[in-house]
Amino acid sequence: MTAPTVASTAPEPVGRIGVPIAAQDALAYLEALGAWRDQRRAELARLDEAALASPERDALTGDVQLSMALWQSVSERYDLLVTTWDSGRAGVAERERLSALIWGRLDTTVDPATTGRQLPAGALSVSLPEACRLSDALVGALRTRLSLDPVQADLADRLRQLRAQVERVRDLVAEEPAGPSHDGATRRLTALDGTVTDLVGDAQRGADVGGRVPGAEGEAARLERDLIVGAATRREARRDAARARTQRAELEARGQALRALADRCVAELRPAPRLAVPDVAALGPVPEDAAAVEAYLTRLDAVSRALTQAHTAYQSALDERDELLGRLEAYGAKAAGSGLRADAAGDLAELRRRAVDELGSRPADLERARALVAAYQAYLASRADHGGTP
């Protein structure tokens, strides 16, 4: 395995939504984010390799998968940022768009079991800076659990990073709503703060604290991860009702268009598919209760899948008719250049006429049309094999 290195740390974000980023700030951030992205990918490859070889493989899989999903989302957003930056040719509007891309939401598809929390529809919606911080926290925890941090790493630097992480956690705890979650996070923060303070003090007095640092790093990473996920989950819950209303309207429009497609297919083809087109109106209005909204979203997803299945069936039948016509055109061109005798050409012309008539009728008998096109193809092949003679 490649020798372990000190984990990378995501760069500080720049800009804010609605305000263009200064060109020099955008360039510096993109360069730092690109370097972080590349190093993080290499770190994840090492962590994945180590996790697969670890006896705790099953327990580590969730965090590894979430880390990979976060990296993918960050990488895709980075590509959009680079495209918008356009090698420094970005104007004011483009630099404002950079701010929106940095601070806007990016959805990371995850298994809810990965985080130990219930995430709506399996999606974790966080901003780019939050995704980077969560990635840092997850990688830090994984490195600690897999014992990948080198002993020779600069202890003073690790303690500085640990103190900075405690302050980030403090800011996150302040955003927690009052209640059991806030109380629990406060207790964990107080304990962590005390541990880090003791570590810094003991290190300044010359004590060997190297063996105690990984435990504190692991707890800091877990606490920061839990708080970031919790904040994202709360935001997602607040947006659930709005998302459900939007999705319901989209499905209603899809359903109306699909019913028109199904009517056309039934009128023009036989046998036509006979799949029911679900009506999203049957679900009723979007509820207000958070738990009910989550269940409603699940039902909307089921309606979406059913609409997709029905669309595929009806559109495929219509596409087959067009494909049969296309094959007839291609076979006809081949026949015209094959030098067939008049009687063979006449036979083919009759087969083609019947096939075209059938495909042009309403409703067209697809089974008969398939047989006629297949007969045309087979007859043409047999004449070609005999050099154009019957």
pLDDT band per the 50, 70, 90 thresholds, residue 247: very high
Identify the pLDDT of residue 115. 47
Percent of the chain's residues with pLDDT above 90: 56
* pLDDT at res. 68: 93
Q: Of residues 211 and 99, which shows the higher confidence score?
A: 99
Taking the C-alpha atoms of 265, 270, 272 and 274 in order, what is their torsion angle to the nearest 10 degrees?
A: 120
Query: What's residue 83's pLDDT?
Result: 93
Quick one: pLDDT at residue 109?
55
**pLDDT > 90? residue 370:** yes
Q: How far is CA 120 from CA 9, 108, 233, in A?
A: 29, 12, 8
What are residue 364's phi and psi, to 5 degrees? -80, 135
pLDDT at 137: 86
Q: Which residue has the higher pLDDT, 158 or 7?
A: 158
| Residue 14 predicted with pLDDT over 50 | yes
Handedness of CA 263, 268, 273, 274 (dihedral sign): positive
Q: What is the pLDDT of residue 150?
A: 52
pLDDT band for position 314 (cuts 50, 70, 90):
very high
Q: What is the mean pLDDT of the chain?
A: 87
Question: What was the pLDDT predicted at 123?
Answer: 54
Identify which has the larger pLDDT, 150 or 173: 173
Higher pLDDT, 92 or 125: 92
Residue-wise pLDDT tens digits, 257-287: 999 999 999 999 999 999 999 999 999 999 8
Question: What's the pLDDT at 104?
Answer: 86
Per-residue pLDDT band for 362 (boundaries 50, 70, 90) equals very high
Q: What's the rounded Cα separation, in Å, for the pair 259 and 276? A: 9
Per-residue pLDDT of 103-145, as tens digits, reads 988 766 555 454 444 444 445 678 899 999 989 988 888 887 7
Confidence band of 1 (pLDDT split at 50, 70, 90):
very low
Q: Are the CB atoms for 283 and 248 separated by under 8 Å?
A: yes
Can you give the pLDDT at residue 257? 95
pLDDT of res. 278: 94
